[in-house]
Chain A
Amino acid sequence: MVLAELQRRFQEAVLGGNPLPDLFAGEEEGLAGGFDLYLQAYRSRLAAALRDNFPVLHRALGDDAFSTLAGAYIREHPSRFRSIRWFGDSLTDFIARFPERVGHPALLDLARMDWAMRAAFDAADSAATKLPDLAALHADEWPEHRFHLMPSLQILDLTWAVEPLWKALNDDAEARTEEPQIQEHALLIWRPALDCCWRSAEAGEAAALRALGESENFAHWCAALAKAGEPEPAMAAATLLRRWVEEGLLAKSAVPV
């Protein structure tokens, strides 16, 4: 048997849970050596990766419900990643398609927060813009100045106010928690230096932040703010920029791709 066929059959047996793929010494007697160890290891390793990547969702659901969710996901989404660190990239979509799998619709937003925090953790580095950097800009440089968002920054549009639940369970697995309330808002997650930060934001602020990242320069951004209905765009821009710079949301320069 050629190697490709042997590996195809081995892999299909692991994915399908078939203990006798007709490859191994001893199968004639109904014993495939320790092949069942590979079957078990595959599922437990991927489930462990999901627990690592969605630690707060795991705490919210508990071991049994998380294990059921993980098992269903592993069956439907075999890994295509070189590193297991990325396994689970479609779990939030998977939950969105079958929300009954997590029991409460707010847990979809909780899972999205988990994944975004994990992504920010090892996203590309960049030095943050500081207030003196802005002070050093000449007045005639401002209109053409291009601002860059931190490469780790993610702006999530959430339906549920899950942040208190996420924080409580992240701090303490046994925390007593309250049911999240419906509240359309944005969640900002970023890493100004080594540690990840997050905070909730109004939809308008999130839109302005996205617009800054997409705008060719400061003048265009101010125009976008005005178009969005901001009565005093220059004043609003100054206020927003100051806050974002103080929080480390803006990068000093674009990160090369």
Chain B
Amino acid sequence: MSSTIEGFGLGLRSEHYGDFRATRQRVDWLEVISENYLVDGGKPLHFLESIRQDYPMVMHGVSLSIGSSDALDTDYLRQLRRLADRIEPAWVSDHLCWTGTRSLNLHDLLPLPYNVATLQHLTPRIAQVQDVLGRALVIENVSSYVRYRADEMSEWEFIRELVSRTGCELLLDVNNVYVSSVNHGFDAQDFIDAMPASAVRQIHLAGHEDHGQYIIDTHDHPICEAVWDLYAYTVRRLGRLPTMIERDDNIPPLHELIDELDVARSVAQAALNERKRAA
């Protein structure tokens, strides 16, 4: 099983299991939602293992709740480790967020207050996760619709400091940067400029819904022009990075996503050429 992640990937969705099993697709690697495979058996694990034979994979979780004030769920961490041992992903990622407290789960990626106390809360927890997984945790920035009064710094300052304190790596979601920049009125390029280039392992691209006052991170549309522009800027700043498209609703036929991946390839190539010229 190859584990090298380079180039352009997609999120593996059950709607496309048949396509991936039928023939080799023009997709360099796949990202799988960890929780979809934390089950005892049946089709999900069967198809995952079969498709894993042909594609490098990374695991992406949605319920680690690294920022919750509850203790980390050690059963969940052990399950995650078992799945990682089974499919040997190049890395394991989850979100810089909390999903619930007092043993409840709101099943959402909720933003954290960006302050020193939260950094102090996260530092030993990330170490605990990295111990169990036996590898660096890759953390993704979330999109958000609120700002706390308790914030003491910007999100990008917070992320830089988190990387510095914990050695975690980053999954930079360019769409989430764009969504939050519009919702909160900051310059998305400031966010990208602040990312520690050596820590960024992966890029996410996705579509969103524009509701006027707010943009909502829905993953149910093609990627919009403004996000393509921000992606080009990101590649110019950070260089070549494994990039994938997330689509979780209104899932189109696989060939449409592969066409969209071709757009990502050409945007990245043009940005790399510019980067080379500017160097």
Contacts and interface: CB of A to CB of B under 8 A. Distances in A.
B177 interface: no
Interface string B138-167: 000000011111110000000000000000
Contacts of A121: 42-43
Contacts of A15: 104
A37 B214 contact: yes
B53 interface: no
A141 to B, nearest CB: 29
B124 to A, nearest CB: 13
Interface residues of A, number: 46
A70 interface: no
6 contacts: A11-B106, A23-B146, A33-B183, A78-B104, A80-B104, A121-B43
A14 B101 CA distance: 12
Interface of B: 35-36, 38-46, 63, 67-69, 73, 76, 98, 100-108, 110, 112-113, 117-118, 121, 145-151, 183, 213-214, 216
A84 B248 CA distance: 15
B43 A194 contact: yes
Nearest to B40: A124
A25 B42 contact: no
Given A3-B118, A125-B41, A11 B102 contact: yes
Contacts, number: 127
B40 A125 contact: yes
A38 B100 contact: no
Given A34-B214, A124-B40, A83 B63 contact: yes
Contact of B117 (A3, A34, A46): A3
Given A7-B68, A11-B101, A122 B42 contact: yes
Most-contacted residue by chain B among A32, A37, A81, A191 (CB, 10 A): A37
A194 B69 contact: no
Nearest to A78: B104
